[in-house]
Amino acid sequence: MTKEEEIMAFLHERVFDPILHSPGASNNLKQGARLTITRMKQLDALGMMKYYWSAIVGTERSVDFAAKLREAHFIRFEEVIDDFRIRFTDDWLRS
C-alpha cells in the first residue's frame, strides 16, 4: 500500500465512508465528501497531509462544511485529529 493509499484508507474508514454510505446524509454532504476525496487523490502523501491540516485550521469552505457535518452528527477531520497526528508523522512520511 502506498502512503497516499494509507492516508486515504484511514480517512475513508473514519470520515468519508460513514457519510457516503449513510442514507441519512444529504446530497450536499455526500458531494462535499466526494469533492474532498477527489482533491486529495490529486496530491502526494505530503500534499494530503497539508490538505488535512489546512482543513483543520480552517478555510471558509472547510469551516462551513465541518459545521454542516457536525449538525448532521458525522465525524469530521477534527474528531480524528489525534489518531491522524500520531499515525501520519514526518518520520512516517520519510520511511
Q: What is the pLDDT of residues 14-29, one digit of tens each?
A: 999 999 999 999 999 9
Helix (H) / strand (E) element for 28: namely helix 27-41
pLDDT digits (tens, 9 = 90+) for 30-73: 999 999 999 999 999 999 999 999 999 988 888 899 999 999 99
Range of the domain at 23: 3-94
Q: Look at residue 90 in the predicted model and tell me its pLDDT.
A: 94
Q: What is the pTM for the complete model shown? A: 0.92
Helix, coil or strand: residue 74? coil
State the total domains in the chain: 1
